[in-house]
A = this chain, B = another copy of it.
Amino acid sequence: MMPISDEQLIMPVCSIFRRYIRRRGLKFTPERARILDVVLSQEGVFEPDDLYEQMRKVGHRVSKPTIYRALKHLVDAKIVTEVLIDSRQSHYQLIFGREPKAHLVCMDNGKITEFPAHQLTELAQQVCLDNGLDYAGHQLVVYGVDPDADKS
């Protein structure tokens, strides 16, 4: 899949989410539209609270429950995916129109680097097949430590 530019991305994602919402008899509210906007502006991995703070900073009054509820729909709609990097905090990432990425986490400073991992998809699909499941996604996280950090 060829990556597409931001301008190419934003319009279709909006329509796709609107269609997804309406097909389910749900409602495309201004809050959901604005949340999708902020999500589309995120670089890499983000937390629900990031969205809350950023929206608040530009004067958008959205409550946290609304953000959590919208994220659930965005995940269902396969526009966003949950990224499991920290067991004590939800992390999400935009996936629509993007190649699947794996994550390298530096355990010293928490910095997250993305890298492509094409090879994995085939392996992951085969594993599902072997176990009688339909493939629904996969995630690779690699952990590293800074070689220059002091060892305790």
How far, in angstroms, from A91 to B88 measured CA to CA in the complex? 11
Nearest CB of chain B from residue A118's CB, rounded to whole Å: 11
Interface residue ranges of A89-145 to B (CB < 8 Å): 89-91, 102, 104, 106-107, 113, 115, 117, 119-120, 123-124, 127-128, 130-145
By the criterion of a CB under 8 Å from any partner CB, how many residues of chain A are at the interface? 40
Copies of this chain in its oligomeric complex: 2
Given A84-B85, A87-B82, A127-B142, A147 contacting B134 (CB threshold 8 A) = yes
Q: Which residues of B contact A132 (CB under 8 A)?
A: 147
A residues lining the B interface (CB < 8 Å):
82, 84-91, 102, 104, 106-107, 113, 115, 117, 119-120, 123-124, 127-128, 130-147
